[in-house]
Structure 1
Amino acid sequence: MQLVMDRISKRVGAQTWLYDMDMALHSGAVTVLLGATQAGKTSLMRIMAGLDAPTEGRVRVDGVDVTGMPVRERNVAMVYQQFINYPSMTVADNIASPLKLRGEKNVQERVRALAERLHIDMFLARHPAELSGGQQQRVALARALAKGAPLMLLDEPLVNLDYKLREELRDELTQLFAAGDSTVVYATTEPGEALLLGGYTAVLHEGELLQYGPTAEVFHTPSSLRVARAFSDPPMNLLPAEAVEQGVRVASRELLALPQPLPAGAAGGLTVGVRASALRLVSRPGDVAVPGKVELAEIAGSDTFVHAETPWGGMVAQFTGVHDFALGAAITLHLQPGDVYVFGADGALLRAPARRGGR
């Protein structure tokens, strides 16, 4: 399915929920809608599904104008944060319902295969009321996958699950999406989820479409400060800077000699961005050393996150592995000048680090 939104917007009373935007989804691929709560993700998905009509603009499917066409006349599967199942049916019958409507063969085998991948095969004989919220959400997700609709809309479908299961199902969903023919739209607040799913990412903020493109490209080359803030976990370190002949000076202190000069005319209040993963404990040739003091150390999974107070301001560093840092201890962070982002006074990206190894 080729879904195109042509200059759509959405207003409700005096409020603008979606500002004027264009978006053409890539057929058979995953598009992630990334943004904080109230960024406009659900409003946009409802227009895609036909649950709402845009105030202005047109929605086209395979070149046909479907603006205002109700959802019951479209072949769409949608899963919300608030799961919806048929309470009188067993889990098996819930998942099988779209398969039976299509007259599919081997329904039981298909149901069991989907249930196993979503870790609910042991609940097939139960009714939804006998399941936890996370289990019911997986039933709704399995039924949507069974429908095999050309357009599948998933509005934060894993948000009600525990951390470990969420990680497992992300991997499963990535494989399921790759094996299917559906155009998938997946809404999330988590940058890591967008990176895992790949495909394309649209970054939304308070109803505005900030950037849309291949996920890796948007992550490595955020077009603005707002995109960099939205697509970074932990948040990108953002530091005041000024342009000098050799590069940029950070916080009126340290000179970062950039590999290439900034665009002509770059001046005024610049911002240097440093991803937490670009900071290291061990120095390499050409590094700049940033002394600091540990304010907080957190272990999350197999990574350690250190919050440090430095002459440049507060910074967060991400180190692979489990490390022990005492509060108040001295720490020296090391950084390659070429690994920084530079944003102009208007927030637009002026330079991004060179990507290594095609990543």
Structure 2
Amino acid sequence: MQLTLESISKKVGSETWLYDMSLSPQPGAVTVLLGATQSGKTSLMRVMAGLDAPTAGKVMVDGRDVTGQPVRQRNVAMVYQQFINYPSLTVRQNIASPLKLRGEKQIREQVQSLADKLHIGMFLDRLPAELSGGQQQRVALARALAKKAPLMLLDEPLVNLDYKLREALREELSQVFRSTDATVVYATTEPGEALLLGGYTAVLDQGRLLQYGPAAEVFHFPKSLRVARAFSDPPMNFFSAARVAGGVQLPGGLLVHGVLPGEAAHAQQAVTVGLRASALRLHAREGDQVLQGKVLLAEISGSDTYVHLSSGIGDVVAQIPGVHHFDIGAALTLHFSSSSIYVFDHDGGLVLAPPRAGEY
């Protein structure tokens, strides 16, 4: 199924919730709507589903205008943040409900297959209230998959689960989505989730669509500062800088050599330099830039250590693989390659991005 939004916008009273945007999620793939709270993700999904009509523009399905057609007349499956299941029905009956509505055969076998895929096969005869939050959300997901709708919309379905459950379900969902032919649209605030799940990512901010494309491409080549801020976790380090003869001049006098072509024509032009936390390293490589500072904070998250450093170019965050111990106030030297920096012009547009692996 090809869903196409043509120049849609949405106003509620005097407020604009969605500004003019066009979007065509890739059929049979996952498109992640990535953005902070109130960026417009839920409003956009409600327009896609038919729960709300756009103020302007058209919603097209396979070339047919369905603008204003209510959700009950569309073949759409939705999963919300809340664990929405039929409380008086068993897990088996919940998953079977869309299959029965379609008059399917071999319902028991289909239910068992979906339940096993989402690791809830042992709970089929229980009521939803007897399950944990993560198990209840798996039931809601299984029922949505059972509907076999050509369009599946998931609005931050893992946000109310604890960290370990989210990690487990992310892995499971990425496998489940690969096995479906549906067009899947998945809303999240987490860049890591977009990279894991998304074949495609649409970055939203304050009701505007900033960039849409293959997830890896949007991540590596954010077209603006706003996209780079939204698609970085931990946040990208940003510094005010200037294009000078020989490279880019950072605060504190640090000169990053030879990163921009044609610098003579743009001497002293103000730019913003971006440096991902993962680009900073403890160990030097040939030709590296050196960054010295003092440790403000060090925290372990999963298998990485996040170090907050006060340096001559400003406060920075480094993501160091492995578990390390750093004393607060201790001197620390980090290293990064000139080829790892991003440069944005005075309007916030991307001027330079690091080459991807294999492009050196």
TM range, smaller chain: over 0.9
Cα distance, 1:223 vs. partner? Answer: 0.5
Task: Please show how residues 336-347 of structure 1 align to structure 2 within 5 Å.
Answer: 336-347=337-348
Q: Secondary structure at the match of 1:286?
A: coil
Please list every run of at least 4 consecutive aligned residues from structure 1 whose deviation after the TM superposition is greater than 3 angstroms: 262-268
Task: Please show how residues 97-176 of structure 1 align to structure 2 within 5 Å.
Answer: 97-176=97-176
Residue 196 of structure 2 aligns with an amino acid whose one-letter code is L
Please name the residue that 2:59 is paired with: 59
Structure 1 residues 262 and 184 mapped into 2: Cα distance closer, same or farther (>3 Å)?
A: farther
CA distance in structure 1 between the partners assigned to 2:109 and 2:322 by the alignment: 42
Unaligned runs of 5+ in 2: none
| Conservation of the 8 A alpha-carbon contact between 2:16 and 2:207 | yes
Q: Which moved more, 1:27-36 or 1:137-146?
A: 137-146
Please name the residue that 1:249 is paired with: 249
| Conservation of the 8 A alpha-carbon contact between 1:241 and 1:252 | no
Residue 278 of structure 2 aligns with an amino acid whose one-letter code is S
Cα distance, 1:88 vs. partner? Answer: 1.5
Matched, 1:356 2:353: no
Q: Secondary structure at the match of 1:16?
A: strand
Aligned-residue sequence identity (percent) comes to 68
CA distance in structure 1 between the partners assigned to 2:35 and 2:322 by the alignment: 29
CA distance in structure 2 between the partners assigned to 1:27 and 1:18 by the alignment: 23
Please name the residue that 2:310 is paired with: 309
Cα distance, 1:123 vs. partner? Answer: 2.0
CA distance in structure 2 between the partners assigned to 1:358 and 1:145 by the alignment: 39
CA distance in structure 1 between the partners assigned to 2:273 and 2:48 by the alignment: 37
Task: Please show how residues 255-294 of structure 1 align to structure 2 within 5 Å.
Answer: 255-261=255-261, 265=266, 268-294=269-295
CA distance in structure 2 between the partners assigned to 1:258 and 1:358 by the alignment: 17
Q: Secondary structure at the match of 1:354?
A: coil
Residue 296 of structure 1 aligns with an amino acid whose one-letter code is L
Q: Secondary structure at the match of 1:136?
A: helix
CA distance in structure 1 between the partners assigned to 2:337 and 2:242 by the alignment: 18
Structure 1 residues 18 and 346 mapped into 2: Cα distance closer, same or farther (>3 Å)?
A: same
Unaligned runs of 5+ in 1: none
In the superposition, the TM-score normalised over structure 2's length comes to 0.96
CA distance in structure 2 between the partners assigned to 1:10 and 1:134 by the alignment: 33
Q: Secondary structure at the match of 1:37?
A: coil
Cα distance, 1:266 vs. partner? Answer: 7.4
Cα distance, 1:258 vs. partner? Answer: 3.0
CA distance in structure 2 between the partners assigned to 1:219 and 1:293 by the alignment: 30
Please name the residue that 1:193 is paired with: 193
| Conservation of the 8 A alpha-carbon contact between 1:262 and 1:351 | no
| Conservation of the 8 A alpha-carbon contact between 1:294 and 1:307 | yes
Cα RMSD, aligned residues only: 1.6
| Conservation of the 8 A alpha-carbon contact between 1:246 and 1:261 | no
Cα distance, 1:265 vs. partner? Answer: 4.2
CA distance in structure 2 between the partners assigned to 1:55 and 1:267 by the alignment: 45
Q: Deviations over 1:61-115 (max 9, x none)?
A: 0000000001011000001112321122111100111122223333222222222
| Conservation of the 8 A alpha-carbon contact between 1:236 and 1:274 | yes
How many residue pairs get aligned? The number is: 359
Cα distance, 1:120 vs. partner? Answer: 2.3
Residue 343 of structure 1 aligns with an amino acid whose one-letter code is F
CA distance in structure 2 between the partners assigned to 1:314 and 1:19 by the alignment: 35
Residue 13 of structure 1 aligns with an amino acid whose one-letter code is G
In the superposition, the TM-score normalised over structure 1's length comes to 0.97
| Conservation of the 8 A alpha-carbon contact between 2:201 and 2:214 | yes
Residue 306 of structure 1 aligns with an amino acid whose one-letter code is V
CA distance in structure 1 between the partners assigned to 2:216 and 2:262 by the alignment: 23
Structure 1 residues 266 and 193 mapped into 2: Cα distance closer, same or farther (>3 Å)?
A: farther
| Conservation of the 8 A alpha-carbon contact between 2:270 and 2:345 | yes
